[in-house]
Amino acid sequence: MKPSILTLLVIFSVFLAPSSVFAAAEFNPNFLISDEELQDWQSMNVSDIQSFLEDKGGYLATLRIEDYVGKKRSVADIIYQAAKMYEINPKYALVKLQKEQSLITDKSPSQKKLDGATGYGITDGCGWTCDTYLRNKGFGKQLDSAVGIMRWYYDHKNSESWIKQEGKTYTVSGEAIRPESDATGFLYTYTPHIQGNENFWKLWQAWFDQTYTEGSLIKTANDSTVYLIQDGKRRPFKSMSALVTRFDPSRIITVPSSELLRYEESTAITLPNYAILRNGSDFYLLDYDVLRKFKSESVVKYLGFNPDEMIDISSSDLKGFTISPEVITAEIQSVTGKLVSFKEDPGSLYYLKQDTFHPLYDPAIAKANFPNLTPETVPLSVLKDYTEGTPIKFQDGTLFGVKGYNEVYVVDHGKKRHIASAEVFLGLGYKWNQVIWTNSVVGSLFDRGEPLYIRTSEQVNNASSDLTKDINIADSSTDDPQNTSNDVLDYLVRTPAAERKFIGTDLLPDVEAYVIADYDTGEILKGKNVDYQRPMASLTKVMTGYYLLKEGLNLNGTVTYDAARHQALYHHFRTVNGEKFRNSDLLFSLLVSSLNTPARMLASEVTASDSEFVAGMNTQAKEWGLDNTSFVDPAGVEIDNLSTPRDYLSLFSHAITNKTLRKYMNDPSYDYDELVDLDNMPHHFDTHTNALLKKTNLPFDILASKTGYLWESGTCLAMLIERPSDGKQFVIITMGNPEYTNKFDAPESLARYAVTNL
């Protein structure tokens, strides 16, 4: 039978437009980067930096090393803290580390390289024996100094004549250099050589100048031509049928002309997908960029293709395509692919093509990837003629998010790349209605790639002014602060073998610590390592919420965001200086989204400082007899917020006696508007970080819960559950769960065990 997709094909002559080549950016020694770029310290968060390091595959991705004050941290943390402290772009630090010692890609660097990581203080005169270097020896000090000196240059450029700056002429490497930005002058001040700074520029271009991902569909406001970004070039579509038979046109984004011209134009896409091409007596099926040859004309007719819809091409035209070695015969199943669901399993969905069946774990994938295919209902027995293939994923260039979470990704070369902020999202021309929200199974099919960057604010300034009307960026939970995958959980605090103890049999061998307790009596019915101190991560926020309410937080009161006072580590709270919030709404952000900055904002409402607030938290812990519990910050971002599962059971049970707190901890979602909005995005909404609250058909009810996560703590969850049959209540606590992707499986299994067996 002829595939229905062919009814969309339009007959037209083959035309291959000549390529129009645009020159790549050339090195200009007078302009390396702009001041705006050098000072864009929020261009990457900790998780973005970590993803970048992992993607480059070097030693730094897993290294924990002393920072400039001697505290061991991950390299991503050290870079982020320096960027934040001095308000210098973390990309500068990444490029500097690579330029000086190749540390970003080096899989086994020497100690000498680490000690001189950024080349700070190593001059032509004295090299590695310079006093300045020796005072700044060590990775943490080198990084801090290299980033800090850039801010120092800005602060002292008018008082120190030796600092090179914009608009003045200097002799560098025997040539006259006139910096066109202070940032350029500062780079020459740091490294007084043209070659060294050209290397810096090349690295910056290679790593951060690429903007639009593989598979992006882009056009400009003044031209209707749509281009596909493929292999770093732009390919124009010569007809709408060529476009719609390959992609969902709703994915098209409008970009500034200057961005379009950055890409060399490549071969045009002229023919509809799955067109039948004839060259003499040979027949071909166009399958995206591959030509698949039919064994004979009779096979073409047998498979139902209409001879009147065939397009004649010349032998020279064939040179523009890849020809598959596979020959299409009458026996091949589903030549152009089809979607099916099974009578025996109405919810199933599969893509059948070339004797292979591929599962689709969300109908949204079918709509995005195969916009012109309608599922057929067939008997399960059809599969006997097919072999099983890999699951179908979203195409490159697709925007998607996982329901219940707040990160938006774009698919690039088969990986998901995190779009870290509304600025990047809007600046690239994306619209909120282009994001496909899918399930966690689909999300887990993708490896994580580098975060998506924006080159400069030029794109933001040139973006359509009404984009903000189309988007509500949900606040991101910081129980995924480092946004990591399982392969970097090497920092998980482990219980020493000599101290591993159990109450009953070990129900969760892979989890470091857990508790099942009778809520009414406080008795621990099942437990593991319940007296070993562990980082609490965002479980800390339960005490924060309790102490806020105890100290008389006015829920109807308001607080105005001030970054200098309020911004916390892993700051994912979408706000700008001067925006005003109701305290009750911030409490939602704290306890439902687990955002960190609201903890500091609210603490400032009841005490004069964070330290005073934390002292009150510690006093409360002592009053409850929690001798193995201590706090150092109200958000739980530091690993020195410590407790044992036994102590935390008591803390959690005491805290949820406050009915207001319990209500917040059980709300599955929230929705509110800022009282004063300054960035045209007043609306905030989110769902609870405990995904079990959204799960149906559980044999228990969740009455209150809180999640937590740091590399060192592993995933954590505390919740009060109730058995519906008799109203029996249990407290379930897991700490040190090494599983991230399926982090709720372990606590769910404990809860099921409790209501079934206890």
Confidence of residue 245 (pLDDT cuts 50, 70, 90): confident
| DSSP secondary structure string for all residues of 585-629 | HHHHHHHTS--SHHHHHHHHHHSSSHHHHHHHHHHHHHHTT-TT-
Q: Strands 223-230, 233-236: parallel, antiparallel or unpaired by DSSP? A: antiparallel
| DSSP secondary structure string for all residues of 62-94 | G-EEE-TTS-EEEHHHHHHHHHHHHT--HHHHH
Contact predicate 275/286, CB 8 Å = yes
Find the Cα–Cα–Cα–Cα dihedral 97, 211, 422, 565, rounded to 10°. Answer: 20
Q: What is the average per-residue pLDDT within 44-61?
A: 84
Q: Which of 11-15, 54-58, 178-182, 342-346 has the lowest mean pLDDT?
A: 11-15
Confidence of residue 673 (pLDDT cuts 50, 70, 90): very high
Quote the CA–CA distance of 196 and 736 in Å, as a whole number.
Answer: 45
Local structure of 654: helix, strand or coil: helix
User: How wide is the angle at C-alpha 298 spanned by C-alphas 297 and 300, nearest 5°?
Assistant: 65
The CATH H-level superfamily of 486-757 is DD-peptidase/beta-lactamase superfamily (3.40.710.10)
Q: How many Cα atoms within 13 Å fall on the side-chain side of residue 117?
A: 30
Q: What is the pLDDT of residue 479?
A: 61
What are the Cα distances from residue 605, in Å, to 473, 541, 559, 636, 674?
26, 16, 7, 18, 17
Quote the CA–CA distance of 514 and 501 in Å, as a whole number.
Answer: 11
Q: Which long-range contacts (CB under 8 A, 24 or more apart) does 359-363 make?
A: 359/391, 359/392, 360/391, 360/392, 361/391, 361/439, 361/441, 361/442, 361/445, 362/438, 362/439, 362/441, 362/442
Strand partners, 340: 350, 376
Strand partners, 670: 686
Judge whether residue 257 has pLDDT over 90. Answer: no
Q: What is the pLDDT of residue 262?
A: 64
Residues ≥6 apart with Cβ < 8 Å to 486: 738, 739, 740, 741
Residues ≥6 apart with Cβ < 8 Å to 1: 304
CATH topology of domain 399-470: TTHA1013/TTHA0281-like (3.30.2390)
Quote the CA–CA distance of 526 and 507 in Å, as a whole number.
Answer: 8
Most confident of 97-106, 223-232, 257-266: 97-106
Q: Which of 390-404, 485-499, 731-745 has the lowest mean pLDDT?
A: 485-499
State pLDDT tens for residues 415-448.
998 886 777 788 788 888 899 999 988 988 998 8
State pLDDT tens for residues 65-106.
999 999 989 999 999 999 999 999 999 999 999 999 999 999
Judge whether residue 113 has pLDDT over 70. Answer: yes
Judge whether residue 15 has pLDDT over 80. Answer: no
Q: Where are the beta strands (DSSP E) in 630-712?
A: 642-643, 669-673, 683-687, 701-710
Q: Which of 504-513, 554-563, 686-695 has the lowest mean pLDDT?
A: 686-695
Judge whether residue 740 has pLDDT over 90. Answer: no
Query: b or e along 553-571 (b: 16 or more beta carbons within 10 Å of the residue's beta carbon)?
Result: beeeeebebeeeebbbbbb
> What radius of gyration, in Å, describes the C-alpha atoms of the chain?
29
Judge whether residue 622 has pLDDT over 50. Answer: yes
Q: What is the average per-residue pLDDT within 137-146?
A: 96
Count helices and strands in the chain by DSSP H and E runs: 25, 34
Q: Which of 412-426, 443-457, 743-757 has the lowest mean pLDDT?
A: 443-457
Judge whether residue 712 has pLDDT over 90. Answer: no
Q: H helices within 6-74, ranges in order?
A: 35-38, 46-56
Confidence of residue 468 (pLDDT cuts 50, 70, 90): very low
Q: What is the pLDDT of residue 209?
A: 63
Quote the CA–CA distance of 631 and 648 in Å, as a whole number.
Answer: 12
Segments making up each domain of the chain, as ranges: 35-208, 275-328, 338-388, 399-470, 486-757
Residue 175 corresponds to which tokens in the numbers above?
């040539």
Q: What is the pLDDT of residue 231?
A: 86
Quote the CA–CA distance of 414 and 446 in Å, as a whole number.
Answer: 7
Q: Which of 306-320, 413-427, 502-516 has the lowest mean pLDDT?
A: 306-320
Quote the CA–CA distance of 552 and 260 in Å, as a whole number.
Answer: 56
Q: What is the pLDDT of residue 19?
A: 26
Q: How many Cα atoms within 13 Å fall on the side-chain side of residue 273?
A: 21
